[in-house]
Structure formats: C-alpha cells, structure tokens
Amino acid sequence: MDYTNTLTDQAVLKELGKRIAQYRINANLTQKTLANEAGISKRTLERLETGHSIQLSGLIRVLRSLELLNNLSALVPDAGPRPMDLLKMKGEKRRRASSTRKTDDSVEPWTWVDPS
C-alpha cells in the first residue's frame, strides 16, 4: 500500500494493523504471547491489529517486541537543516518556527491622520 495524504486515518490504521499481525504470525507468536512480551493487554493488541487507535507507547512496545523498533527512523526521518538555511544562520541551529506573513496588495497601508 502506498501511504498518501488521500488515505483516511482509518485506512492507514487498518493497514498498519494488518502488517503488525502478519509480522506476529511470521514470528509464530500468539496474540497473548506478544501482548505479554510487550507489556500490554491482549485486547490492546487486538485493537491495534484490527485498525483501532491505541496509545503510541503501546505501539512502541509491540514494535520493540517484534524487533521492528529500528524502523521508526524511516517513519520520521531526521530533519536536518536545508543548505540555504545553513548559509543564512551561519551554522547555528534553528530553535523555533516562525509564521509567514501574508500581505494583501489590494489594501492601502494604514497611516496616521492628524485630525487638525
């Protein structure tokens, strides 16, 4: 499955659950065994495998038990600075985001009018 922005959250959760269930089956683990190894309830694992929402910590525990935790770096890759940003910031690390200002050219800029 190709993960695109057109997929619903539910579709992504279902696909993720199917993949985790397949890894569990390939490892010859029952739901009860994997849940115990991960330190979560069997019901939580069932919910995950059927595409329902669970806590992120539960997902991390399951991935760790299936030895898939190292794949999280592909999920959210390291966001290194862009080359132009490095030049502008002279090697310093960016500390916060800034909002973009929208200008409306059709509106006259505000000026002070002296009432006298």
Interhelix angle for 42-49 vs 31-38, to 10°? 110
Q: What CATH number did the domain enclosing 69 receive?
A: 1.10.260.40
Q: How confident is the model at residue 33 (pLDDT cuts 50, 70, 90)?
A: very high
- How many domains does the structure of the chain reveal? 1
Residue 53: inside a domain: yes
Residues of the chain with pLDDT > 90, as a percent, come to: 54
Residue 16: inside a domain: yes
Integer Cα distance of 109 and 10 in angstroms: 47
* Mean pLDDT within 74-103: 71
Residue 64: inside a domain: yes
Residue of 2 and 56 predicted with greater confidence: 56
Let me know: does 69 contact 63? Beta carbons within 8 Å. Answer: yes
* Domain membership of residue 64 as a residue range: 9-74
Tens-digit pLDDT profile for residues 48-64: 999 999 999 999 999 99
Let me know: does 31 contact 24? Beta carbons within 8 Å. Answer: yes
pLDDT at 113: 78
Burial of 18 (0-12, 13-18, 19+ CB in 10 A): middle
pTM exceeds 0.85: no
pLDDT at 106: 65
Residue 112: inside a domain: no
Residue 38: inside a domain: yes
